[in-house]
Structure formats: structure tokens, C-alpha cells
A and B are shown apart, each in its own frame.
Chain A
Amino acid sequence: MDRTGHTTLAEWTPADPDAVEAAVTALREQLDAGYYAVVNHGEGRASQVTELPVDADLVILRRPIAGG
């Protein structure tokens, strides 16, 4: 999620090792830049991940939050 609304950084399928590798690299870069990677599991549930969950449909990168 960014200033444009959101940007797709990588798309992959478990059957495509090159796409998975590219997604892993993209994820690592964003984590290094300070983003958190989150897999949403529906209402009330989401989990933070530090490595690409290859089977996940969607991994969202969010920024840290702060008290106002």
C-alpha cells in the first residue's frame, strides 16, 4: 500500500520457481525498507510474515503504525 493506493510488486504461483524467486526478492527489499508483510485471513484475523508464504493468495505490505 502506497501513495498511489497500492502497487503490485510481484505475482507468483507455486509452480513457477522464477516468479517465486522474484517475489521473495521483492518481499525482502520491502521488509528491509521497513514494511511489514501481512497475510489477511478474513475478518478479525491477519498474520505477519517474514518470508514469502508461497501458497498465500495475497501478501500485503503495510507500514508501521504510531500513536497520534
Chain B
Amino acid sequence: MDAGRLRLYARGWTATTVFQVAPMVATAGLLVTLHPVAAVVGAILLAHAWAIPELYANRGAKVVKPRASADAAAEATAVGLLGDLVGHEARELHARTGLVIERGSLGVWLVGEAGALLVRGRRVHCWCVRVPDPALPSSDRIAHLLLALREDEQGFATVANHAFAGARWRVRRRLPKSQRPALAAAARLDRMDSRPR
């Protein structure tokens, strides 16, 4: 996985969405002009056209959905180790949102316990990736993923399943409110890096 392939994935998602949504919008437009009863069907089509990208975005946002915590003592120990791996700001952000922010060469990552978001400009790529042991504490899962990401960012993105790529605002809407500040922080960091993409 590299920057070129990420751009390809992003364009692929955009094209897929357009191909699915555009016919519905066009048909809805036609129906509205035909007859008042047909306009109702047109409105339903428009609702579908809106819902499809939302469902995709929801699928993407779900990769970082918080899971139920394991043993509290184990979690406290794991948080300590994870805190040692990241800086003060990332530690504070994790405490608030459950996500760890990490600057990479492909963009700015937000690592959760069973997935990661990659912020690149106005787009977010959503990845499903995990440590295959459900009994690990949440922070331990994040630490495993974070270390794997630091070792080999492109390898990390290759192993992970690409779940969605789309507009940041769309993913933000589907994230739990508690996690939205992490996405905003990643976007700020990405802007500061201001890499051309």
C-alpha cells in the first residue's frame, strides 16, 4: 500500500458512490416533473440516494467503535504502557476519545482497538485491523496496532482491510460524539503537515 494506491482507492469509492447515487437522483428528478404521485416515489429515491453513502460511511466509522472493556485492572496496566509509547497530547486525546493519534508518511492515523482511520486532506480511509485475541485489554490492542504501524506503515495498511474511503465530514457524522474531537485533531495535524496529496 502506498500513496498512489490510496488515491486509487479514494477515486474508486467516489466513482462507486456516483454510479449508485446519480441514477437515483436523475430518476427522482424525472419523476418529480411527471406527476404528483410519481414525485412521492422520486422523494423516496432521493432518500435512498442520500442513505447509500451514509451507510458506507457508517461501515467505515464502525471500525473504531469502542468495544466493551475487559478487566479494569488489566485495562489500567495496559493504559500505563500505552501512555509510555505516546506523547502527552496523544495520551490526553486517547483518554478523551479512546483513539491514539499518530503521524505517518501516508497521513495522520487514529488507531482504535479494532481498526484505524487515516486522515488525508479532506478524505478519511477506514481500516479494519485487529489483534486476534478478544481477551486483551482495549489499550493493549491499541498498543499492538500502534507498534505494528510504527514498524511498517505500508505493511500495516496492506494487512488491514480497507473498509471505506470518503469525505471526512461524512465519517465524522457517523462517529460517536466522544470520538469526533480525535478526527478534528487528526485533520489539524494533517493540515499542519500540508503534504500535497
Q: Could you list which residues of chain A lie within 8 angstroms of chain B, going by C-beta atoms?
A: 1-6, 36, 38, 40-41, 43-48, 60, 62-68
Whether the pair B161, A68 counts as a contact (CB closer than 8 A) is yes
Whether the pair A1, B144 counts as a contact (CB closer than 8 A) is yes
* Separation of A63 and B142 alpha carbons in the complex (Å): 12
Majority SS of interface residues in chain A?
Answer: loop
Q: Which residue of B lies closest to A7 (CB)?
A: B77
* Separation of A60 and B80 alpha carbons in the complex (Å): 14
* Separation of A66 and B75 alpha carbons in the complex (Å): 22
Given A5-B137, A68-B129, answer yes or no on A62-B80 (Cβ-Cβ < 8 Å). Answer: no
For B129, the chain A residues whose CB sits under 8 A away are: 65-68
Q: Could you list which residues of chain B lie within 8 angstroms of chain A, going by C-beta atoms?
A: 63, 70-71, 73-81, 85-87, 90, 102-104, 114-115, 128-133, 135-137, 139-140, 143-145, 147-148, 150-151, 156, 159-161, 163
Q: Which of B79, B135, B151 has the most CB of A within 10 A?
A: B151
Whether the pair A65, B150 counts as a contact (CB closer than 8 A) is no
Whether the pair B150, A67 counts as a contact (CB closer than 8 A) is no
Q: Which residue of A lies closest to B139 (CB)?
A: A5
Q: Which of B73, B132, B163 contacts A5 (CB 8 A)?
A: B73
Whether the pair A68, B74 counts as a contact (CB closer than 8 A) is no
* Separation of A5 and B141 alpha carbons in the complex (Å): 10
* Separation of A66 and B102 alpha carbons in the complex (Å): 19
Whether the pair B143, A1 counts as a contact (CB closer than 8 A) is yes
Q: Which of A36, A43, A60, A68 contacts B102 (CB 8 A)?
A: A43
Whether the pair B86, A5 counts as a contact (CB closer than 8 A) is no
Whether the pair A68, B77 counts as a contact (CB closer than 8 A) is no
Whether the pair B160, A6 counts as a contact (CB closer than 8 A) is no
Whether the pair A67, B159 counts as a contact (CB closer than 8 A) is yes
* Separation of A36 and B143 alpha carbons in the complex (Å): 13
Q: Which residue of B lies closest to A40 (CB)?
A: B85
